[in-house]
């Protein structure tokens, strides 16, 4: 046992005392959160140049109102208060009326398209003459059309839809002798508040329901899952290279003179569990502090931290033992990568279903999937991080199943390691490796 | 007492018999030299003694320090493998501490200091292994094998690649270990080293034992059939001489193997016909010569190797 500890300590120190470790520690969250961070930093780095839009109002009634709405927007909706100044963060929309000079519709469309291509205008809107009429029951009829050469920029399309339709509705009401003001108020919709459940506190008082933060409810489980993935990868994956290097440099032969193979393997595994736990703990504490300072302290899922660490430790043992077996069985990195690809796919499998699990953490699909050992650590963590969490028996069953699988993996890896670590030359076929396992 | 007792063991790799029905006893306190061509089974035998490999199921048994090999790794055995294995990024002192600890040693500081001084490496204690020369790394590897004062030291090619100075340092260290009571087994391709250092010599060829005994007994088996001669003025070939089986040309010295029963005076007379003789020595064959007689291309063309047991039984 002492020798296992000595090996584990060496492995741990060799990993954490390197510059690579420090760089990984800093870079990993930067890379993972980098996309979000960059978007946050660049969120107001938009083009504020005026956008010119031509309106062909074939009803002859709507242009003035639309232009009025645009001016209203340009005066009030495109600025942000910043240190007592108004900073423009959105472009102005400059509406231009185009009166058709030709009765040829195609000619009109072409000439306006040319203006878009020449970048005189961003796009143009055609309001059909009968768009105010309500005679056509076909809802698919295109009474309004927006033409542009920038299909991915849909801000104008999203904005202009409302003022035009509002004006059309008002005119329809007037035609029908309805008081537009009354109708608009009568048909006004309410916004539904998204709340959690009420609870009784320690004094027996019923607490107020908390406003549900949909973004946080997705981001927190996602963050926990990514952290789990990252810590498993950092703990388990280097074992392939470490074992392969020791095998090729004959270090393992020296070690096997003093340490039985299983103790050697367990020492290496436990060392990397330690590395993984160190990183996990640093990130968990870092996240808790960061979230607290950002004023969202209650969003940190402190209640699942212990579960997280247990699942993380088991996952590193499980995947790590398999990676050790790969490192011991092969003779070069290329062979190792071939064998590792399917294993890495299993590790990333939860990424393909995480959205479904976040949306419906208690569904049969999510529950059953989160109890399948290779994906349990990541999926169970997601489910636990979505309020209100899962019944305690589920992570318990998850841990038991993980434990059984981990013991199996370590057993298999131990047998492959014992023979593979001293075998040079061609890597064994799957059948040969299984015969190593069977023979012992 | 025998430190190692091997009785009829066989080791097969993918149908190839690396070691075939081998028996051997290594007495306590001796220096036992393993010789044999590359791929003959030396390292496999050493690894079996080390419990890194196990003999084939159903073949004989190995007792090391009185224990069967199917047990835990033994802290009383120090091992220097053929291909050196050290963590390159580790500092010398940390590496030695690590190897001392995995050999069950708790109080290792003074031992590390002693050995670093002994090997003239004290100034390198805090340097990384990767900064050491090959010879230095080899000495560190040697220290890691012997630091825990093992009863049995197994050294696979300990002197290969060393310059004469480092070779002397290592040789003296090996002899010191023996004086302190350790038994030494080492393999080597340097017949001179084997002749000078070993109490016993064991030769394995194609997995079978072909020589085993003290140097004197081995040489006695071959008798005085070798003549070393120096003819300074003679540049020709001596292999055309009568009653001469083989000539080995060492440049200045010629080594002649004569047909058994030939009178050496007859050879001397024939040599005098060829030029002035400054050295004439009737001797037993060198270990080198014995090695070549067994494993050289000439011997292999004539007959496959015969295991020593088979010869003795016959």
CATH code for position B277: 3.30.70
Closest among A410, A399, A424 to A239, alpha carbons compared: A410
Distance in Å from the first CA to the final CA of chain B: 29
The confidence score (pLDDT) of residue A398 equals: 94
User: By the CB < 8 Å criterion, does B43 face chain A?
Assistant: no
A251 and B85 in contact by Cβ < 8 A? yes
In the prediction, which pLDDT does B238 show? 84
B311 falls in which pLDDT band (50, 70, 90)?
Answer: very low
Contacts of B84 in chain A (CB under 8 A): 250
**Structural domain contains residue B293:** no
What are the pLDDT digits (tens) for B32-43?
999 988 888 988
In a domain, A390, yes or no: yes
Instruction: Select from B198, B218, B238 the last residue of a domain.
Output: B218
Q: Are residues B97 and B48 in the same domain?
A: yes
Quick one: B210 and B232 in the same domain? no
Any domain includes B303: no
Q: Find the mean pLDDT for residues A314-331.
A: 90
Question: Are A168 and A227 in a shared domain?
Answer: no
Instruction: Summarize pLDDT for A236-281 with one digit per residue, the tens.
Output: 888 988 898 888 888 888 888 788 888 889 999 999 999 999 999 9
How far is the first Cα of chain A from the last one, in angstroms, to the nearest whole number? 21
Is the pLDDT assigned to residue B301 strictly greater than 60? no
Position B180 in a domain: yes
Structure tokens at A322: 């398999």
Instruction: Look at residue A54 in the predicted model and tell me its pLDDT.
Output: 94
Could you give phi then psi for residue A343, rounded to 5 degrees?
A: -70, -40
Count Cβ neighbours within 10 Å for each residue of A107-137 and write b for 16 or more, e otherwise. Answer: ebeeebbebbeeeebbbbbbbbeebbeeeee
Best of A18, A254, A260, A420 to substitute, by most chain B Cβ atoms within 10 angstroms, is A254
Q: Are residues A255 and A128 in the same domain?
A: no
Percent of chain A having pLDDT more than 90? 33
Give me the interface pTM, i.e. the ipTM. 0.76
In the predicted model, is pLDDT for residue A135 greater than 60? no
What is the predicted pLDDT for the residue at B312?
46
Q: A91 and A157 in one domain?
A: yes
For residues A151 and B79, which has the higher predicted lDDT (pLDDT)? B79
Q: Which of A72, A23, A78 is nearest to A50 (CA)?
A: A78
- Cα–Cα dist B292/B298, whole Å: 8
Per the CB < 8 A criterion, the answer to whether A319 and A236 are in contact is yes
Per-residue pLDDT, A138: 66
Residues A126 and A167 in one domain: yes
CB contact (8 A) between residue B144 and residue A259: no
DSSP 8-state secondary structure symbol assigned to residue A299: G
Distance CA B209, CA B180 (A): 30
Comparing A130-139, A148-157, A409-418, B257-266, the range with the smallest average pLDDT is: A130-139
Contacting residues of B for A252, CB less than 8 Å apart: 85
**Is B313's pLDDT higher than 50?**
no
Tell me: do A155 and A261 sit in the same domain. no
Does one domain contain both B169 and B251?
no
Determine the pLDDT at residue A407. Answer: 92
Over residues B251-295, the pLDDT tens digits come to: 888 888 888 888 889 999 998 888 899 999 988 888 888 888 888
Same domain membership, residue A398 and residue A266: yes
Whole-number pLDDT of residue B285: 83
Q: Report the C-alpha gap between B146 and B148 in whole angstroms.
A: 6
User: Is residue A133 situated within a structural domain?
Assistant: yes
| pLDDT reading at B302 higher than 60 | no
Residue B307 has pLDDT above 60, yes or no: no
- pLDDT of amino acid A425: 67
Decide if pLDDT at B70 tops 60: no
Q: Are residues B202 and B251 in the same domain?
A: no
CA quadruple B62, B66, B68, B74: dihedral positive or negative?
Answer: negative
Q: Is residue B107 part of a domain?
A: yes
Domain that holds residue B54: 2-218
In a domain, B69, yes or no: yes
Q: Looking at CA atoms only, how far is residue A426 from chain B in angstroms?
A: 12
- Are A36 and A295 spatial neighbours (Cβ–Cβ below 8 Å)? no
**Chain A, 4-43: which have a CB under 8 Å from a chain B CB?**
6-7, 10, 14, 18
- Tokens coding A198: 């009420």
* Residues A224 and A181 placed together within one structural domain of the fold: no
Would you say residue B71 has pLDDT above 60? no
pLDDT for position A134: 62
Alpha carbon of A31: minimum distance to chain B alpha carbons (Å): 28
Q: Are residues B160 and B17 in the same domain?
A: yes
Percent helix, strand, coil in chain B, to 5, is 35, 25, 40
Do B235 and B206 lie in a common domain? no
Per-residue pLDDT, averaged over A20-46, amounts to 71
Domain-located, residue A293: yes
Chain A contact for B83, CB < 8 A? Answer: yes
- Domain identity same for B214 and B261: no
A344 belongs to a structural domain: yes
Average pLDDT, chain A: 86
Which phi and psi angles does B196 have, rounded to 5°?
A: -75, -35
* B72 contacts in chain A (CB < 8 Å): 260
pLDDT (tens digit, 9 = 90+) per residue, B236-262? 788 888 888 888 888 888 888 888 888
Return d(Cα A89, Cα A8) in angstroms, integer: 55
Residue A67 covered by a domain = yes
Q: What is the pLDDT of residue A65?
A: 92
Higher pLDDT, B140 or A193: B140
Instruction: Check whether B303 has a pLDDT greater than 60.
Output: no
Q: Count of domains in chain B? A: 2
User: What is the pLDDT at residue A120?
Assistant: 92
Assigned token pair, A361:
């953490």
Tokens of B110: 């003074």
The dihedral through the CA atoms of A414, A416, A420, A422 has a sign that is positive
Q: What is the mean pLDDT of residues A224-231?
A: 90
- Chains A, B: CB contacts within 8 A come to 69
Same domain (yes/no): B175, B252: no
- Asked if the C-beta of B202 comes within 8 angstroms of chain A's C-beta atoms, the answer is no
| Interchain CB distance below 8 Å, A250 and B83 | yes
pLDDT value of residue A431: 79
Q: Residue A400's CB: how many other CB atoms inside 10 A?
A: 12
**B268, B170: one domain:** no
Q: Are residues A366 and A240 in the same domain?
A: yes
Supply the DSSP string of A356-396, one letter for each residue.
Answer: HHHH-TTSHHHHHHTTSGGGHHHHHHHHHHSTT---THHHH
pLDDT band at A33, cuts 50/70/90? low
Instruction: Please count the structural domains in chain A.
Output: 2
For an interface test with A, give the residue of B70, B88, B102 to mutate (most A CBs within 10 A).
Answer: B102
Shortest Cα distance, chain B CAs vs residue A24, angstroms: 18
Between A52 and A134, name the one with better pLDDT. A52
Beta strands in A27-160 (DSSP E): 51-57, 79-82, 85-88, 93-97, 123-127, 144-148
Reported as a pLDDT band with limits 50, 70 and 90, residue A34 is low
Q: How far apart are CA A144 and CA A131, in angstroms?
A: 7
pLDDT in tens, B104-144: 888 889 999 999 999 989 999 999 999 998 889 989 999 99
In contact, A413 and A391? CB cutoff 8 Å: no
Q: Are residues B140 and B246 in the same domain?
A: no
Residue in A299, A352, A316 with CA at minimum distance from that of residue A230: A316
The residues near A286 (Cβ < 8 Å, ≥ 6 apart) are: A29
pLDDT at B171 over 70: yes
Q: What is the pLDDT of residue A403?
A: 94
- A388 prior amide bond cis, ω within 30: yes
Average pLDDT of the segment spanning B10-34: 89
Question: Same domain, yes or no, for B138 and B274?
Answer: no
CATH code of the domain containing B143 = 3.40.50.300
Q: Of the candidates B186, B218, B250, which is a domain's last residue?
A: B218
pLDDT (0 to 100) of residue B306: 53
Cα angle A128, A131, A137 (rounded to 5 degrees) comes to 125
User: What share of chain B in percent tops pLDDT 90?
Assistant: 29
Residue B27 is predicted with a pLDDT of 92
Residue B200 has pLDDT above 90, yes or no: yes
- Residue A87 — very low, low, confident or very high, per pLDDT cuts 50/70/90? confident
- Asked, for residue B314, whether it belongs to a domain, the answer is no
H or E segment and range at residue B256: strand B254-258
Judge whether B31 lies within some domain.
yes
Decide if B291 is inside a domain: no
- Counting every residue, how long is chain B? 314
Residues 6+ apart with CB under 8 A from A244: A327, A328, A330, A331, A332, A333, A336
The answer to whether residue A111 is domain-embedded is: yes
Residues B75 and B140 in one domain: yes
The whole-number pLDDT of residue A371 equals 94
Under 8 Å CB-to-CB from B212, ≥6 apart: which residues? Answer: B24, B200, B201, B202, B203, B308
Contact B86 A253 (CB under 8 A): no
- Structural domain of A370: 214-439
Residue B218 pLDDT > 80? yes
Residue A291: per-residue pLDDT: 81
pLDDT of residue B314: 37
Residue B91: band (very low, low, confident or very high) from pLDDT cuts 50, 70, 90: very high
Which range is least confidently modeled, A62-71, A396-405, B14-23?
B14-23
A23-37, A259-273, A339-353, A371-385: range with lowest mean pLDDT? A23-37
Average of pLDDT values for A309-313? 94
Residue A265 lies in a domain: yes
Spatial separation of the C-alpha atoms in residues A273 and A19, rounded to whole Å: 19
Is B85 within 8 Å of A254 when comparing Cβ atoms? yes
């Amino acid at each position: 046992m002492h020798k296992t500890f000595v090996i584990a300590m060496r492995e741990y120190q060799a990993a954490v005392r390197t510059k690579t470790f420090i760089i990984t520690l800093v870079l990993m969250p930067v890379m993972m959160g980098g996309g979000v961070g960059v978007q946050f930093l660049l969120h107001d780095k938009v083009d504020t140049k005026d956008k010119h839009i031509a309106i062909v109002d074939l009803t002859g009634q709507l242009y003035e109102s639309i232009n009025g709405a645009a001016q209203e927007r340009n005066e009030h909706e495109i600025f942000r208060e910043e240190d007592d100044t108004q900073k423009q963060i959105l472009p102005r929309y400059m509406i231009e009326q185009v009166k058709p000079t030709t009765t040829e519709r195609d000619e009109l469309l072409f000439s306006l398209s040319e203006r878009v291509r020449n970048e005189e205008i961003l796009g143009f809107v055609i309001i059909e003459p009968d768009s105010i009429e309500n005679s056509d029951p076909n809802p698919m009829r295109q009474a309004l059309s927006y033409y542009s050469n920038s299909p991915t920029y849909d801000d104008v399309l999203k904005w202009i839809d409302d003022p035009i339709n509002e004006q059309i509705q008002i005119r329809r009401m007037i035609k029908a002798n309805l008081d537009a003001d009354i109708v608009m108020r009568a048909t006004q919709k309410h916004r539904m508040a998204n709340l959690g459940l009420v609870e009784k506190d320690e004094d027996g008082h019923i607490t107020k329901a908390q406003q549900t933060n949909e973004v946080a409810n997705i981001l927190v489980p996602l963050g926990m899952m990514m952290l789990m993935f990252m810590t498993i990868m950092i703990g388990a994956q280097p074992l392939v290279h470490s074992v392969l290097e020791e095998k090729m440099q004959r270090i393992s032969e020296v070690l096997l003179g003093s340490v039985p193979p299983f103790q050697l393997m367990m020492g290496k595994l436990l060392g990397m569990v330690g590395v993984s736990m160190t990183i996990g703990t640093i990130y968990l504490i870092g996240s808790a502090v960061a979230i607290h300072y950002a004023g969202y302290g209650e969003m940190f899922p402190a209640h699942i931290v212990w579960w997280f660490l247990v699942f993380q430790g088991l996952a590193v043992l499980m995947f790590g033992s398999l990676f050790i077996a790969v490192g011991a069985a092969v003779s070069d990195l290329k062979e190792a990568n071939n064998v590792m690809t399917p294993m890495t796919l299993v590790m990333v499998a939860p990424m393909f279903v995480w959205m479904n699990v976040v949306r419906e953490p208690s569904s049969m699909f999510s529950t059953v999937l989160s109890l399948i050992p290779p994906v349990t650590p990541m999926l169970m963590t997601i489910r636990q991080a979505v309020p209100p969490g899962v019944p305690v028996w589920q992570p318990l069953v998850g841990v038991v199943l993980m434990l059984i699988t981990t013991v199996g993996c370590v057993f298999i890896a131990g047998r492959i390691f014992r023979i593979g670590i001293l075998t040079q030359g061609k890597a064994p076929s799957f059948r040969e490796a299984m015969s190593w396992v069977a023979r012992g | 007492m025998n430190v190692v007792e091997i009785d009829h063991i066989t080791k097969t790799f993918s149908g190839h018999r690396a070691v075939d029905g081998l028996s051997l006893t290594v007495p306590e306190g001796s220096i036992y030299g393993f010789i044999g061509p590359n791929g003959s089974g030396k390292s496999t035998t050493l690894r079996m003694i080390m419990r890194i490999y196990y003999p084939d199921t159903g073949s004989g048994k190995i007792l090391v320090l009185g224990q069967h090999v199917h047990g835990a790794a033994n802290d009383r055995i120090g091992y220097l493998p053929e291909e050196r294995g050290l963590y390159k990024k580790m500092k010398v002192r940390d590496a030695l501490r690590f190897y001392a600890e995995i050999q069950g040693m708790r109080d290792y500081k003074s031992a590390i200091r002693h050995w670093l001084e002994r090997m003239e490496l004290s100034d390198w204690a805090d340097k990384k292994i990767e900064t050491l020369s090959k010879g230095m790394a080899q000495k560190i590897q040697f220290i890691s094998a012997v630091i825990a004062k093992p009863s049995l030291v197994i050294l696979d090619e300990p002197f290969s690649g060393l310059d004469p100075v480092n070779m002397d340092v290592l040789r003296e260290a090996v002899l010191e270990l023996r004086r302190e009571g350790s038994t030494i087994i080492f393999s080597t391709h340097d017949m001179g080293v084997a002749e000078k250092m070993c109490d016993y010599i064991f030769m394995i060829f194609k997995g079978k034992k072909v020589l085993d005994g003290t140097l004197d007994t081995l040489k006695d088996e071959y008798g005085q059939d070798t003549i070393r001669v120096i003819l300074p003025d003679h540049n020709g070939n001596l292999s055309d001489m009568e009653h001469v089986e083989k000539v080995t040309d060492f440049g200045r010295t010629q080594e002649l193997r004569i047909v058994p029963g030939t009178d050496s005076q007859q050879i001397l007379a024939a040599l005098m016909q060829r030029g002035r003789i400054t050295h004439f020595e009737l001797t037993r064959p060198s270990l080198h010569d014995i090695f070549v007689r067994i494993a050289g291309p000439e011997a292999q063309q004539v007959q496959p190797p015969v295991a020593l047991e088979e010869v003795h039984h016959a």
